[in-house]
Amino acid sequence: MATATEEVKLTDGLNHFISEWRDKPGNLIMILHKAQEEYGYIPRPVALQLSKELGVPLAKMYGVITFYHFFKLKKPGKYKISVCLGTACYLKGGQDIIQELENLLGVGVNTVTDDGLFSVEAVRCVGCCGLAPVLTVNGEVYGKLKKNQLTSIIAKYRNG
């Protein structure tokens, strides 16, 4: 792990993106989005390096990262489960889906299972209101869910 004085090598894709966005308005958020796309989250050594590269104080960078729920500071599981809690999903049992996932996986929202396979997050809307309640696993949509379907969905990913 890099310390505050060490430099970390950013990915080529992120370096290219920085060169395109360095002088544009709104560059910090766009670059943070790209960093999260490249790494799956924003590791501290990457945040430190971006702070140096962009001349943005680390405190300001973390202010942006922690303000927006999209940005993650912890590595997500191999299979990222997102449970919709938008209005339609909430009314049709989205919170019950989260509770059942917590029971089945033994972890709460915004945490990762000990084996690193699954992480669970609550999201505001995935745009599939007609399929409520909905969850996604790495972008694959599961709609009109019942709690008893979760065991087989988890097994599908756990068993490869």
Per-residue pLDDT at 4 exceeds 60: no
What's phi and psi for 83, nearest 5 deg? Answer: -105, 125
The predicted structure's pLDDT at residue 58: 96
Higher-confidence position of 40 and 160: 40
Query: Can you list the domains of the chain with their CATH numbers?
Result: 12-67 (no CATH), 79-158 (3.40.30.10)
What whole-number distance in Å separates Cα of residue 42 and Cα of residue 75? 8
The predicted structure's pLDDT at residue 5: 53
Q: What are residue 135's DSSP bridge partners?
A: 83, 142
What whole-number distance in Å separates Cα of residue 154 and Cα of residue 156? 5
What whole-number distance in Å separates Cα of residue 89 and Cα of residue 27? 34
In the chain, % of residues over pLDDT 70: 96
For the residues 145-158, what does the mean pLDDT come to? 97
The predicted structure's pLDDT at residue 70: 84
* Region of 61 on the Ramachandran plot (φ > 0 left; ψ -120 to 50 alpha; else beta): alpha
pTM for the predicted model, two decimal places: 0.77
Per-residue pLDDT at 8 exceeds 90: no
Peptide bond into 43 cis (omega under 30): no
Per-residue pLDDT at 1 exceeds 90: no
For the residues 1-13, what does the mean pLDDT come to? 72
For the residues 65-74, what does the mean pLDDT come to? 90
